[in-house]
Amino acid sequence: MSLVRFAPSPTGYLHIGNARPALLNALFARRHGGRFLLRLDDTDLARSTEAFAQAAREDLAWLGIAPDLFARQSERKAEHDAAAARLKAAGRLYPCYETPEELDRRRKRQLGRGQPPIYDRAALKLTEEEKAAFEAEGRAPHWRFLLEARTVAWDDLVRGPAHIDCASLSDPVLIRADGSYLYTLPSVVDDIDFGITHVIRGEDHVTNTGVQVQLFEALGAPVPIFGHHNLLTTADGEGLSKRLGHLSLRGLREAGYEPSAVRSLAVLTGSAESVRAVEGMDELATLIDLSEISRAPARFDEADLDGLNARLVHEMPYAAAAERLRAMGVPDAVAEAFWLAVRANLGKVAEAAQWWRVVEGPVTPRIEDPAFAGAARETLPAEPFDGGTWKAWTGEVRARTGAKGRALFMPLRLALTGLDHGPDLAGLLPLIGRERALARLSGQVA
């Protein structure tokens, strides 16, 4: 059975760019009968917060992702320490004493000579006496992973045959001088211990894969299957980050977007499938084939999200909106009729609230022709109103006044709603009712 993971750092709110790998992993597990692990990579204790950790879980739940497993990297330091000790014993993790300033000067010299700015492994030549002298000065070592100078190749789920020439890379720092871990070692150790079979992530991690494959092998573990998908950008081509608060999942939710619209756009953009509203996770899972994802950046356009969301709302059954309508104060007795009357005019469900205020009042009517309004009052049928009342009434008003088209319908809309636009009045009139309609046609706020 396949096991995939999504491993965000709880240092800010998840944004739409994070939604893409989260969804691609969850959908892959769903399509292949696998399981999904949510792992919080929270080893950056200075920036990680419990508030962001909880927000990540809430945002994923809103998207429709229910993890099968949950873990916190910060609770696994003993396992990371044990792996580091094994690498040190094997000579694959070695101490380095250069300061950041010294390393920067060295890189500049290499660039000046036309050489690639990779670490020259000077620390491997240090004697025990030289190491002791550095430590006597108060220098604590950082630790680098000794890469084998070879090409690492793999069959990528998205990109096909892929490779990284590790001879062109610096030996990566795995442990800082203060003893804290960078991303790479804890990630690999946790993937090993949890039995991750597939690592699906953004293409910005391709170079990391060469290093991580060597780490898996150095720790004697099977190497998972990798897939590196294209990244989402803004409509202008700008990379997404946590500083773009309006594109955070929390921000999109608070703005009233439907999770199905967000997830459809997040995964179908830049795929072989046409971008459209897909309601359920199961259906979406059948549409996503990682091998058919484009290599080009996928542009996330908020205008597309608006259109997608509106189409979903226009087709949304009453049952899906019922709870939100109840929260707006729409009585259950009329809620379904109200929803069917207004949904075609909504971009978001929350916009229904303004039309309930129009129904319930008070509304300040706009009477431009008192004589016309008087004729409308006199011809308004007795209750009960139904779906045919509007047509019958406007026919009587037309016969009485001679008005037709816009000259007939717009004055009635302005009087009944106070607005020059809105849902079909055939659906709204029975909800407004005869008493309020008469009052508004008389110019009264009602």
Task: Judge if 84 and 164 occupy the same domain.
Answer: yes
Query: How confident is the model at residue 244, as a pLDDT?
Result: 56
Task: Judge if 390 and 403 occupy the same domain.
Answer: yes
Residue 27 one-letter amino acid: L
Could you give the CA distance from residue 161 to residue 295 in angstroms, rounded to a whole number?
13
Residue 446 in any domain: the answer is no
Could you give the CA distance from residue 68 to residue 35 in angstroms, rounded to a whole number?
6
CB 28 within 8 A of CB 200: yes
How big is the CA angle at 281 (ends 7 and 27), to the nearest 5 degrees? Answer: 40
Question: Model confidence over 25-63: pLDDT tens digits?
Answer: 999 999 999 999 999 999 888 889 999 999 999 999 999
Query: What single-letter DSSP state applies at residue 45?
Result: T
Task: Judge if 86 and 168 occupy the same domain.
Answer: yes
**What tokens does 425 get?**
């009045």
Could you give the CA distance from residue 57 to residue 61 in angstroms, rounded to a whole number?
6
Task: Judge if 166 and 217 occupy the same domain.
Answer: no
The residue among 360, 393, 417 that closes a domain is 360
Residue 181 in any domain: the answer is no
Task: Judge if 164 and 201 occupy the same domain.
Answer: no
Task: Judge if 211 and 280 occupy the same domain.
Answer: no
Task: Judge if 160 and 301 occupy the same domain.
Answer: no
CB 342 within 8 A of CB 352: yes
**Under 8 Å CB-to-CB from 412, ≥6 apart: which residues?**
376, 394, 397, 425
**Under 8 Å CB-to-CB from 68, ≥6 apart: which residues?**
29, 35, 36, 37
Task: Judge if 117 and 243 occupy the same domain.
Answer: no
What are the CA-CA distances from residue 419 to residues 291, 367, 387, 410 (Å)? 51, 11, 21, 9
**What tokens does 94 get?**
């070695």
Is the whole model's pTM more than 0.85, yes or no? yes
pLDDT band, very low/low/confident/very high, at 272 (cuts 50, 70, 90):
confident
Alpha helices in 116-205 (DSSP H): 128-136, 184-194
Segment of 46-55, 103-112, 423-432 carrying the highest mean pLDDT: 423-432
Task: Judge if 302 and 328 occupy the same domain.
Answer: no
Q: What range does the domain containing 434 cover?
A: 370-441
Question: Model confidence over 381-396: pLDDT tens digits?
Answer: 999 999 999 999 999 9
Residue in this structure with the two tokens 């997404």, named with its chain if needed: 240
Task: Judge if 337 and 405 occupy the same domain.
Answer: no
Question: Model confidence over 154-192: pLDDT tens digits?
Answer: 999 999 999 999 999 999 999 999 999 999 999 999 999
